[in-house]
Amino acid sequence: MRLEKTKNKVMRIRVGYEMIYECPQPTPMILMLNVHFTRQPDIIVPDRLITDPPLAVTPYRDMFGNWCNRIVAPQGRLLLTANGVVNDTGLPDPVVPSSQQYRVQDLPDECLMYLLPTRYCDTDRLDNIASSLFANTPPGWARVQAICDFVHRHIEFGYKHARKTKTAWEAYNERAGVCRDFAHLAISFCRCMNIPARYCTGYLGDIGMPPPYGTMDFAAWFEAYIGGQWHVFDPRNNIPRIGRVLIAHGRDAADVAIATTFGPNTLKKFVVWTDEVAGYAAAPLASVSA
């Protein structure tokens, strides 16, 4: 099959969601659901937020540059949906083993906040553990990968283990969680080893992966600052993946909640999709070298 190419893009991905809330009273909400501004050149069909009933939507950018929308949900049923299309390279996440770790005194100012403890990344409780596990690993890419390898082995994945209050320390001790817990623990270990790390959320489908496929959801991963730039790491999957589409990044999951509600509500329906558009193809994972 001949691959269609436009500016080195070799595939297109349809992304979107459908959520239904029930609110007993008018309820202000902050929604963080749009594709990240860094993917703006790749957007073919914008993932515009549609509400039913129609509501006033006020957009803004938060302190990390993420796109946010403010609404006031009415009493009763509210449908939120979007359906966008983005270009993608069709290649797995880059792997750059030569990326070196910076000394703290040499880090850019904007990276320093990603060394500090946060609500879900309680590094003060993990410092000694991190040192015992990773002090003898080579600094840089190899150290971050060693952290991902450990977290991937240490935590059992399962939605039954999800808990919105779970911290990295608790995930370490319980040895179970969902993708956000994998990310929080790996981020915490990186910060303990003086590597800036930030939490990411977005779309990640099963493109290039063999079946069976699980239920689609928003995904969590992290980025580490090594070699002078931010690099993607994914301790949940722990292999380079195809079709990762960023929505937002921050210090931890508290900064990038897809919906923050200021009042009682019930989420009645939650569906996410991220699919390759017919006519475009990704390179098989096994045939792409780092």
Query: What φ, ψ does residue 151 adopt, rounded to 5°?
Result: -65, -40
Do both 214 and 143 map to the same domain? yes
- 112 lies in some domain: yes
Partners of residue 28 on adjacent β-strands: 72
Rounded Cα distance, 34 and 18, in Å: 13
pLDDT at 93 over 60: yes
What pLDDT was estimated at residue 212?
83
Do both 32 and 150 map to the same domain? no
What pLDDT was estimated at residue 4?
37
- For 98-112, what is the HEC assignment? CCCCCCHHHCCHHHH
- 169 lies in some domain: yes
Can you give the CATH number for the domain in which 218 is found? 3.10.620.30
pLDDT at 1 over 80: no
Between the alpha carbon of residue 65 and those of residues 17, 125, 249, the distances in Å are 22, 30, 9
Do both 65 and 166 map to the same domain? no
- 219 lies in some domain: yes
Do both 46 and 125 map to the same domain? no
Do both 265 and 238 map to the same domain? no
Q: Which domain holds residue 48?
A: 11-90+257-279
What pLDDT was estimated at residue 214?
80
pLDDT at 175 over 80: yes
- 230 lies in some domain: yes
Do both 261 and 236 map to the same domain? no
- Confidence band for 146, pLDDT divided at 50, 70 and 90: very high
Do both 58 and 27 map to the same domain? yes
Do both 119 and 203 map to the same domain? yes
Residue matched to tokens 């994972």: 285
Residues 215-255: tens digit of each pLDDT: 889 999 999 999 999 999 999 999 999 999 999 999 999 99
Number of domains in the chain: 2
In this structure, of 7-16, 50-59, 72-81, 154-163, the range with the lowest mean pLDDT score is: 7-16
Residues 112-131: tens digit of each pLDDT: 999 999 999 999 999 999 99
Residues 257-280: tens digit of each pLDDT: 999 999 999 999 999 999 999 865
Do both 120 and 215 map to the same domain? yes
Can you give the CATH number for the domain in which 261 is found? 2.60.40.2250
What pLDDT was estimated at residue 10?
82
- 174 lies in some domain: yes
